[in-house]
Amino acid sequence: QKEVEQNSGPLSVPEGAIASLNCTYSDRGSQSFFWYRQYSGKSPELIMFIYSNGDKEDGRFTAQLNKASQYVSLLIRDSQPSDSATYLCAVIYTGNQFYFGTGTSLTVIP
Amino acid sequence: GAVVSQHPSWVICKSGTSVKIECRSLDFQATTMFWYRQFPKQSLMLMATSNEGSKATYEQGVEKDKFLINHASLTLSTLTVTSAHPEDSSFYICSARRDLNTEAFFGQGTRLTVV
């Protein structure tokens, strides 16, 4: 089993809609979770992080964490064409490793 | 925000030669640095985790004698690809973190092409 799993997509949503991205992880001891965005040929850039169960909102982005079910999700409200990118879920494992999921490709259609 | 600088941005080298890639945290001290490799349309594969002053911890399947990592200071880590071959051609990315369980900031990446 891979350390961090995501649906690879591609995911297409119309402009203004909500995009929902999901991620599962295998290490029950993990405490820190991150969402990054990566444009083609570029390095990832941090969108937000979440450490506690529940929801965390930052502008149009909401991260949701459920440690019991070992999943973390990202919701993007009012999606814009500029949000089109690959979204990477990252998890810090108990051995201090920083693992990434395979990424979900999102396309927002104008 | 925290800035991580990676150099060079791209490099072309001949098969059999060695290439060194530098990763610097410019405005913070990085207790941990990570090195990743990314092939086209694939995710970031963690190669190794390095803490300042100690040996790097390599992921399974990564040859430590081929990918030499040196984390000599709290602001600098280097990755040396020794005796590079065409299959080593990839996008190499470093990231740095201030403390345990905090976010990591990424360098710009280095595109290595071995001919």
Which tokens go with A21?
């991205």
Q: Do B95 and A98 touch (CB under 8 A)?
A: yes
pLDDT at residue A17, rounded to an integer:
97
CB A4 within 8 A of CB A89: yes
Substitution target from B39, B58, B98, B103 for chain A, most A beta carbons within 10 A: B103
> Distance from A99 to chain B by nearest Cα, in Å?
7
Which tokens go with B45?
């594969």
Counting every residue written for chain A, the total comes to 110
For A:11-40, CB contacts with B below 8 A are 31-32, 34
Tell me how far apart the alpha carbons of residues A22 and A91 are, in angstroms, rounded to a whole number. Answer: 13
Model confidence pLDDT, tens digit, residues B15-57: 999 999 999 999 999 989 999 999 988 889 999 999 887 889 9
SS3 of residue A30 by DSSP: coil
SS3 of residue B86 by DSSP: helix
Phi (first) and psi of residue B56, to 5 degrees: -75, 150
Tell me how far apart the alpha carbons of residues B46 and A43 are, in angstroms, rounded to a whole number. Answer: 14
DSSP per-residue string spanning A72-105: EEEEESS--GGG-EEEEEEEE-TTS-EEE---EE
pLDDT at residue A89, rounded to an integer:
95
Residues from chain B contacting residue A41 (CB–CB below 8 Å)? 91
Question: Which of B36, B59, B103 is facing A34, going by the closest CB pair?
Answer: B103
